[in-house]
């Protein structure tokens, strides 16, 4: 595969919100630092929008494994959350809720070597 055919994934730094819904004053660093179970507790009361944007932020900041773990913790604690996750993420919900966690990258360094990683500056 030539360099021009290589897939590229671009990640955001934690100082920038992908969705525009999270910032230092609204807990973006909590998404990075808290456990999935703690996040499920914190995200439940604010509702679907906050839960979904948190999952998106985790994925676009390079940690889809934690995004999946948060989605699973939400569903484990509140089974009604599964439908909103499936509605929001479509086929990606199967990945978030069913793919073995050990198969999902937990950081940009864990992506396959044939994927080019870049970061927004």
Q: pTM score > 0.95 for this model?
A: no
pLDDT for residue 2? 53
Residue 76 has φ and ψ, to the nearest 5°, of -65, -40
Residue 87 parent element (H or E): helix 81-89
- pLDDT per position in the chain (121 positions), as tens? 455 577 999 999 999 999 999 988 888 999 999 999 999 999 999 999 999 999 999 999 999 999 999 999 999 999 999 999 999 999 999 999 999 999 999 999 999 888 999 999 8
* Residue-level pLDDT at 42: 94
Residue 74 per-residue DSSP state? H
Give the number of other CB atoms < 10 A from CB of residue 72.
20
Torsional class of 62: left (φ above 0), alpha (ψ -120 to 50), beta (otherwise): left
CB environment 55-66: b (16+ within 10 A), e (fewer): bbbbbbbbbbbb
Q: Which two tokens stand for residue 88?
A: 């929001």
pLDDT of residue 23: 86
Task: Give the pLDDT score at 80.
Answer: 95
Q: For residues 91 and 61, is the Cβ–Cβ distance under 8 A?
A: no
């Amino acid at each position: 595969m030539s360099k021009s055919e290589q897939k590229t994934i671009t990640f955001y730094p934690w100082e920038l919100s992908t969705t525009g819904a999270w910032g230092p004053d609204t807990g973006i660093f909590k998404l990075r630092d808290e456990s999935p179970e703690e996040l499920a507790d914190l995200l439940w009361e604010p509702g679907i929008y906050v839960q979904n944007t948190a999952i998106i932020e985790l994925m676009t900041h390079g940690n889809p494994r934690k995004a999946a773990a948060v989605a699973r913790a939400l569903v484990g604690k509140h089974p009604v959350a599964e439908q909103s996750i499936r509605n929001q993420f479509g086929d990606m919900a199967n990945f978030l809720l069913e793919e073995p966690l050990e198969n999902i990258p937990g950081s940009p360094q864990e992506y396959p070597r044939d994927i080019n990683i870049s970061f927004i500056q």
